[in-house]
Structure 1
Amino acid sequence: MKILVTGATGYAGSRVSAALARDGHSVLGLARDTASAAARALTSAEVTPVEGDFVKPDTWRGHLDGVDAVVHLLMEMSDPYGGDQRLFAELQAAQERDGRTRHLVFTTGISSYGRTGLPLMDESSPGDPESPIGFRFQLEQELAATGLPHTIVRPGFMYGGTATTSMTGQWFASAEAGTPVFYGDTDKHWSWVHIEDLAEAYVRILDNPAVVDGETFVIADEQRLRALDVQRAAVRAAGYSGEITLESAQAGGMLQMAADQDELVTSAKARRLLGWTPRHLAITDAIDVHYRAWKAAQPVS
């Protein structure tokens, strides 16, 4: 298949793009600057960087020509709702132009659920519309209403590799600076997923997208870890031995507020329909390895 990946130079996008290329697909990676180091890294992973700015559809509309699928792996913070709506509209317009269907793999996340009060959530669990990013569930519904071929992926908290937008990357950096902070409820528990295990889920979806058309998959491991315990392990791996400062979720901004509750999920459906099983059992099993990987990706001062 020929696949266009948005957010291809980002944390998840770079690993998903590379995994799809390894699986034999022809992968185009959308990048604002195809001469950047991140875009060059795509090239070394046998992904073809193509220039375009997601907020300006006229810069990437032409890249939809001839593709069989689009993997959407970014949230445009300047207009997260409208940006995704424009993506849906562009895909509909492209189909009307050439009659070609393009399977959209649309990524949201488990923080979209918000405060559900449920001990364990799956694909059928209702979200809390009051969640700061609950609008992403509304976008899922709008996508279904378009009639576009699609699959929805809701990842758990990502970790591993460069960890550039992972909570763990923030924890490692704050530990090195001597200022680690934990935001919100100290007893909340999160489900996690290693970035390579997540990439494998996208590969399995696009190996036979017609089979999973219209389906939603939660992708996370089966651990039930307290977020503060994970942060403690992360800062210790980074060499910090002091106390972690506790702050309100509000002090951490929108994304901390969106994640300020238990977010425990099961991926039984992905195991059953995709044959997906995480190879990394728990983030805390090799936290020192994850720290070294993050450290190696930091620019040399």
Structure 2
Amino acid sequence: MRIFLTGASGFVGSAIVPELVRAGHRVLGLARSDASAEKLAAAGVDVHRGSLTDLDSLRRGAAACDGVIHCAFSHDDFNDYAGNCEKDRGAIEALGSALAGTDRPLVITSGTARFTPGRVVTEDEPLDASTGGGPRAASEQLALSFARRGVRVSSLRLPVVVHGDGDHGFVPMLIEIARKTGRSGYIGDGDNRWPAVHRLDAARLFVLALEKAQAGARLHAVGEEGVPTRDIAGVIGRKLGLPVESVPKEHFGWLGAFFALDTPASSALTQARFGWKPEQAGLLADLDHGTYFARA
């Protein structure tokens, strides 16, 4: 199949590309800049210029392909999460509309974090904005509604931490905060848990969802159900030679709201239904032996 991939040059998307190629698919990658286009071309990807806000370009890309994986998400302004989610909904509407009535696959990206804290979330639980699901819940609900419009749509939920070489998300931010403040902190007793997955494991699941998921399916790309944040801080402190201690949430700025989350999630149903097994290093091992502490 020819697959339209948004976010193709990003952290997760660039890992999906070789998985698609190994599975025998051709890739049409969305690129919003010359740098992204050059990166995709070098990887043997056909380039489709556009962006998440250029809805006509999204519709053209989807209509020209046999399936779509939508893993792009705007991170231009971390302080405007609601606005970023609104862009995501617009993109999903454009992609889904282009595929309506075709029974072609559309895999969209969601998350596991927006549920009731302190309990293990499963795939069968719907993400509901009215019960704390936040603005991204509306994106998942919109996407899955296309199952009634002849699209084989599925939602692949990523955990709070997707880790691996090239990570530029929450964990590198925690490392930089530790460097700047001279201590590696956790909040409260540090027993709150972050689920995690390696980007290469997540990439394999995106392809399985594309090929096998039924319309309306929800999948969890969760390699580890919940890593205590105190343990994350412990590895960071040891690698940097800094004290590890409990600190106020404000120590982390806006990131404190996320580092305080206790959002364990299970992938047991996904593993049983799709034969997916996490194979890569876990988060703490990746911190210990990966490239997180290398500086150019």
Same fold (TM over 0.5): yes
Normalising by the residue count of structure 1, what TM-score does the alignment of the two structures yield? 0.81
Distance 2:183 2:253 in 1: 12
Q: Please state if 1:230 is matched with 2:232.
A: yes
Equivalent pairs counted in the alignment come to 285
Q: How does 1:69-108 map to 2 (within 5 A)?
A: 69-76=67-74, 79-95=83-99, 100-108=102-110
Residues 226 and 5 of structure 1: CA distance in aligned 2, closer, same or farther (over 3 Å): same
Q: How does 1:33-72 map to 2 (within 5 A)?
A: 33=33, 35-36=34-35, 38-72=36-70
Residues 123 and 202 of structure 1: CA distance in aligned 2, closer, same or farther (over 3 Å): same
Distance 1:40 1:244 in 2: 44
The runs of 5 or more residues in structure 2 that have no matched partner are none
Q: How does 1:176-187 map to 2 (within 5 A)?
A: 176-177=179-180, 179=182, 182=185, 184-185=187-188, 186-187=190-191
The residue number in structure 1 matching 2:208 is 204
Normalising by the residue count of structure 2, what TM-score does the alignment of the two structures yield? 0.82
**Secondary structure in structure 2 of the residue aligned to 1:105:** strand
CA contact (8 A) 1:52 1:59 kept: yes
What one-letter code is carried by the residue in structure 2 that aligns with 1:233?
V
Q: Please state if 1:7 is matched with 2:7.
A: yes
Distance 1:277 1:202 in 2: 13
Residues 52-111 of structure 1 deviation map (CA, whole Å, 9 limit, x = unaligned): 121221344322232122211133355233323322332344246xx6443211111111
Distance 1:95 1:203 in 2: 18
The residue number in structure 1 matching 2:124 is 124
The residue number in structure 1 matching 2:192 is 188
**Secondary structure in structure 2 of the residue aligned to 1:10:** coil
Distance 1:127 1:57 in 2: 25
The residue number in structure 2 matching 1:246 is 247
Percent identity between the aligned chains? 25
CA contact (8 A) 2:222 2:267 kept: yes
What one-letter code is carried by the residue in structure 2 that aligns with 1:25?
H
The runs of 5 or more residues in structure 1 that have no matched partner are none
Q: Please state if 1:144 is matched with 2:148.
A: no
Residues 151-208 of structure 1 deviation map (CA, whole Å, 9 limit, x = unaligned): 111112211111122x222233334445566465532111111111111111222233
